[in-house]
Amino acid sequence: MSFETAFLPLLLAMTVISFICRAGGFWLMRYVPTTPAVEAALKATPLAVMVGIVTPVAARGNPPELAALAVIVIIVRLTGSDILAAILGVATVAGLRILLGSP
């Protein structure tokens, strides 16, 4: 893997733009009244994002990813820890990809 010096300005630009988007969202939310509907939408957003990320992966049906999804569900049910489930899910995908020799 080679390192391109042209990558650094692009990385910096993406970092700044990402920060502006996040900070702008926090700043704009100061002016939105927190009604029960807004609160429900904000609580549902992380789940909606995760479903949007996981669905295409699950639809492909690759064994490492499907096994990781099963591990994640089991760990969340047993421990209630999203972080632990995510770490073990990533480890499951990595381990199975190494064992199966898949990309």
Please write the tens of the pLDDT for every residue from 37-77: 989 988 888 888 888 888 898 898 889 999 999 999 999 99
6 torsion bin: left (phi>0), alpha (psi -120 to 50), beta (else): alpha
CA angle 30, 39, 82 (to 5 degrees): 110
pLDDT digit string (tens) for 2-20?
A: 667 888 899 999 999 999 9
Q: From CA 86, how far away is CA 20, in angstroms rounded?
A: 27
- pTM equals 0.61
pLDDT at 1: 53
The pLDDT value recorded for residue 89 is: 93
What is the pLDDT at residue 66? Answer: 93
Q: Report the mean per-residue pLDDT for the chain.
A: 90
